[in-house]
Structure 1
Amino acid sequence: MSQIALTAARRPERQLRAERLIGPAAVEQAQALRFRVFSAEFNARLKGAERGLDEDDFDAWCTHIGVRDLASGELVATTRLLDHRAAQHVGRFYSEEEFNLHGLGHLQGPILEIGRTCVDPAYRSGGTIAVLWSELAEVLNEGSYSYLMGCASIPMQDGGLQAEAIMQRLRERHLCTENLRAEPRTPLPNLDVPANLIAEMPPLLKAYMRLGAKICGEPCWDQDFQVADVFILLKRDELCPRYARHFKAAV
């Protein structure tokens, strides 16, 4: 467990701590938080919804980490991590349900996949993500992982206008298929979007880009969540120095 605690900006009473979520009860807390966030924001079709949970077959093979508010005891952020060894037992990475990952077998070094990241709406600040990143850094360091990969979502409730506008920027600045090419199993519908259309990049996707991650192709349409999932790949030795402090022990 990371002992880092952070006081949220402008909310001095908030003490946040990162931790590993070990055992069925702790994992269920993460699944409950995921359900609340994903069902409310995306009206997602979730396995386990009848019990107020978001759960799937990958959960049992993942390392779950989270951020807890020490004052209330509530879990306020979570993500899960699947490494290459666990993926071999499952038979695939979670991302492979949405993408054909060309070149995956040629990546040099251990791989860690991140997914199902969510933050309680009341705690969406850079501070909360920094605390979550601190625990991710511990896992990266312990496993000496060379690559971090996964998906970041863009809402599709507007039919895809926001997704296409954001993709125009990502293609220009952050596209790289040299190490891996992600081919979506369900591409987005073609849309004509004005070149001057401005769309705000979702916070998690923005955080990945600031760390130095690249997108590896076009997004996949996840119809259960009504989002466009963008596949990202972060090469550990290309981590942006400006943000390396969030991964203090992992670089």
Structure 2
Amino acid sequence: MATFGESDGAAESGGVLLQRGRYRVRLALDPEDVARAQALRGQAFFGPEGPSDVDAFDPLCRHVLIEETVEGTLLACFRYLWLDDGAAIGTSYSAQFYDLSRLEAFGGPMLELGRFCLRPGCGDPDVLRLAWGAITGLVDRGGAGLLFGCASFAGTDPAPFAPAFAHLAARHLAPARWQIGRRAAETCEFPQEGADARQAMPLIPPLLRTYLGMGGWVSDHAVVDRAMNTLHVFTGVEVAAIPPARARALRAIAA
């Protein structure tokens, strides 16, 4: 496992990965920055008065902040874990919940994205767009071949998401060579019938829709995470398989 980002040039510019208009995307540079991200995660995941979201993976990851430049308001954040190749997949956050043994054969660098959240009430699509531009820059500088993480649905009742899960099962399962196995104590099956894209897409979280638009794929089941009050699916995107038009659009943002 490697911590990519310490010497990629961002630190020399105050950690700034990307800046456009009134927004900037930068690396967390000190414990205070990390604490701000953890506090925002708590608000996003547990409610306005929720406690900070802190876990054992925070010290292993780099944290990225998306801020409004004038006031410095934190609008979004995420963290990433850089892995040199598939042999390190067992050290990832996702490996707690999924059997990722087939991905041990993946031969190139990998980037695990996690804890992505927006400040409650922040609806500007430019924030998400800039986040993906920054991620694209990280991927290109380090030569990552796979992006992966856990994509979450709010709540632990799978019934409201049945159309979404049926759509994922019909259209977006991981290829056989990377099939994701079960590890979590509590999981739910995907429906094998009833796929309807028109019903499914409004139920799929924006982050997961972005993954799917890049050719992403998912596990064949969801994990019930009662600690976070979510259902989540393992999601992977092979960088080489991203549609060329989408790759050009992302690199235009990152440029």
TM-score by length of 1: 0.82
How much has 1:195 moved relative to structure 2? Answer: 6.2
From 169, 172, 177, the equivalent of 2:170 is 172
Q: Report the 3-state secondary structure (helix = DSSP H, G, I; strand = E; otherwise coil) of the residue aligned with 2:17.
A: coil
- The runs of at least 4 aligned residues of structure 1 exceeding 3 Å deviation read 85-91, 189-197, 247-251
Q: Give the corresponding residue for 1:79.
A: 78
The answer to whether residue 20 in structure 2 is matched with residue 5 in structure 1 is yes
Deviations 1:99-132 (CA, angstroms, capped at 9, x unpaired): 1113121012111101100011322332111111
The answer to whether residue 229 in structure 2 is matched with residue 226 in structure 1 is yes
Q: Is the 8 A contact 2:63 2:79 kept in 1?
A: yes
Q: Is the 8 A contact 2:26 2:64 kept in 1?
A: yes
Highest relative contact order (Cα 8 Å, sep 6+), 1 or 2? 1
Counterpart of 2:17 in structure 1: which amino acid?
S
Instruction: Quote the sequence identity (%).
Output: 25
Q: Is the 8 A contact 1:140 1:250 kept in 2?
A: no
How much has 1:226 moved relative to structure 2? Answer: 2.1
Counterpart of 1:76 in structure 2: which amino acid?
L
> 5+ residue gaps in structure 1?
7-14, 44-48
Q: Is the 8 A contact 1:114 1:148 kept in 2?
A: yes
2: CA distance, partners of 1:30 / 1:141: 25
Q: Give the corresponding residue for 2:42.
A: 35
> 5+ residue gaps in structure 2?
1-15
Superposed counterparts of 1:36-51, under 5 Å: 36-40=43-47
How much has 1:85 moved relative to structure 2? Answer: 4.9
Q: Give the corresponding residue for 2:153.
A: 154
Q: Report the 3-state secondary structure (helix = DSSP H, G, I; strand = E; otherwise coil) of the residue aligned with 1:212.
A: coil
Counterpart of 1:16 in structure 2: which amino acid?
Y
2: CA distance, partners of 1:57 / 1:225: 15
The answer to whether residue 212 in structure 2 is matched with residue 209 in structure 1 is yes
Computed over aligned residues only, the root mean square deviation of the Cα atoms, in angstroms, reads: 3.0
Distance 1:126 1:212, change over 3 A: farther
Pick which of 109-118 and 176-185 moved more: 176-185
How much has 1:156 moved relative to structure 2? Answer: 2.8
Q: Give the corresponding residue for 2:108.
A: 109
2: CA distance, partners of 1:231 / 1:95: 7
Distance 1:183 1:103, change over 3 A: same
Counterpart of 1:121 in structure 2: which amino acid?
P
How much has 1:55 moved relative to structure 2? Answer: 0.9
TM-score by length of 2: 0.81
Q: Is the 8 A contact 1:61 1:86 kept in 2?
A: no
Counterpart of 1:226 in structure 2: which amino acid?
N
Q: Report the 3-state secondary structure (helix = DSSP H, G, I; strand = E; otherwise coil) of the residue aligned with 1:225.
A: coil
Q: Give the corresponding residue for 1:18.
A: 25
